[in-house]
Amino acid sequence: MNPHTAQAAPAVEGAHSLIGDRIHRLGADIALDGQVSWCPPGIRTTQPVNCYLIKGSAGSVLVDTGIRLHEAEIIHQLESLLEPGERLAVVLTRTEMECCLNLPAIEARFDVESVWYTGGITVPRTSATPRRIMVNPGTSCELEVMDGLTLEFVSPLMRLLPTLWIFDPVSGALLTSDAFTHGSYGRSKAAAGLHKFQWFAEADTRGIAQDVEDVIRDRRVSAIGPGYGEPFIGLVESAAEATALAAAIRTVGNQ
């Protein structure tokens, strides 16, 4: 995505509930106008760019911070969801621009106590306590990010740079960063979500596809929340989308 040419679609006025009062989807829409790098050529529609707030009993966790284009909307949405002085931790699924650009603005407004991330090619600027973690690809670990709020950090094989998928065992939501992003492209469009992963054409992708299916199968995933694109809601739909995405990954691979 080119930050100089990205255009706003009609703004989302408030946050959307992903699962009850536990997980909320923040952000707003962009216009897919040929200038968005992760979108396949020829698609003209709008697409949400998402970050997610997980509410706990002693504070909340924000998964990614959204793009700079949506800074005002995200600050407003956080103000509507957080109590005055409520503790906040931030988890970055990737240290890429669409995940961390609003971190300084959020820190300036809210009580951010820690920022969790992996990799570090673009280390986010933060005044909160940095929590850099390493999770081997194809594995996961559970971490108490906030008092009483434990999340599973999944390191998928479907990746370009170091990437985390975040699973909330309380709600069953899996937040998938730059994967499962095809929800804005219509039904049976899983392959369109692979435009960013063009290296798959030169790889044996069978293990990657199996890992996608295993991550969903091994957890009762009740919703899939991508970093951009419409979420998938429900146990049946989540499983079906994992099967469709895995099939698309196998098809494009060189094996």
Cross-strand partners of 130: 115
CB 29 within 8 A of CB 46: yes
Per residue in 206-227, pLDDT (tens digit) is: 999 999 999 999 999 999 999 9
Distance CA 37, CA 56 (A): 35
pLDDT at 255: 80
Beta pairing, strands 232-233 & 173-175: unpaired
- For the domain 16-252, what is the CATH code? 3.60.15.10
Taking alpha carbons only, the member of 132, 130, 154 closest to residue 142 is 154
If residue 239 lies in a helix (H) or strand (E), which one and from where to where? helix 235-252
Half-sphere exposure of 143 (CA within 13 A, CB side): 17
Radius of gyration of the chain (CA): 17
Q: What percentage of the chain reaches a pLDDT higher than 90?
A: 79
Average pLDDT over residues 70-92: 96
Residue 10 has pLDDT above 50, yes or no: no
% of the chain surpassing 70 pLDDT: 92
Distance CA 52, CA 99 (A): 11
Stretch 115-128: mean pLDDT, rounded? 79
Q: Provide the β-strand partners of residue 54.
A: 23, 61
The structural domains of the chain, with segments of one domain joined by +, span 16-252
Give 12-68 pLDDT, tens digit per residue: 357 899 999 999 999 999 999 888 888 888 888 899 999 999 999 999 999 999 999
pTM of full prediction above 0.85: yes
